Every structure is written in structure tokens, then in C-alpha cells.
Amino acid sequence: MLHLLKWQYQPGRRGASWQATIRVQRRDLAVHMTDNPSLKAVLPQAIDQAYGNAVIEAGAETGLLESAFPIACPWTYDQITNQNFWPGEALP
């Protein structure tokens, strides 16, 4: 989610490295969820925790105030894991 935040809030800095990180993390998450299907029951809590961490890191890495980011995760699990979803861009 850190890189999704950076992708959305720093469009002028988007690059292949950020895109690769997002794509790899999505693949890793898919494998992890396949290996641990019981985690689906705690997805809302896991997303909240991960998003809170991402906001802290995004603030540090972008120089933006943490208050510049939404309080709650603005994306659904399906969006986070969708290889075609890029915040701030229309889906093809």
C-alpha cells in the first residue's frame, strides 16, 4: 500500500521501479492468501493495520504530512490485488 499511496500522490515520480514493486507485492499477496485461506476472515483488520503503516512510511518518504492521506484505506481488497488497478488512473 505504501507504493500505491506514492503512485497516487506523486504521479510525477511514477516509474518502473514503483510499478514493479506493486506488481511483485500483489503476486506475493496472492500466493500468501492461497496458502492461508483462513486469513480472509481477518482481511479488514489486516488492511487497516497495513494501511496505517503505509501512511507513516508514505509521509516519511514523500515529505507530505500524514494528514494528506485518507484516514482509512481508500481501496478495497479487490482493488489492492487487481493487477490492472493503478490509483489515479482509469481501469482499461
pLDDT, tens digit (0-9, with 9 covering 90-100), for 43-81: 999 999 999 999 999 999 999 999 999 999 999 999 999
Closest CA to 76 of 24, 1, 15, 22: 1
pLDDT, tens digit (0-9, with 9 covering 90-100), for 4-48: 999 999 999 999 999 999 999 999 999 999 999 999 999 999 999
SS3 78: helix
CA–CA dist 19, 52 (Å, integer): 21
Domain boundaries, the chain: 2-81
Long-range contacts of 41-46 (CB under 8 A, 24+ apart): 43/77
In this prediction the pTM is 0.92
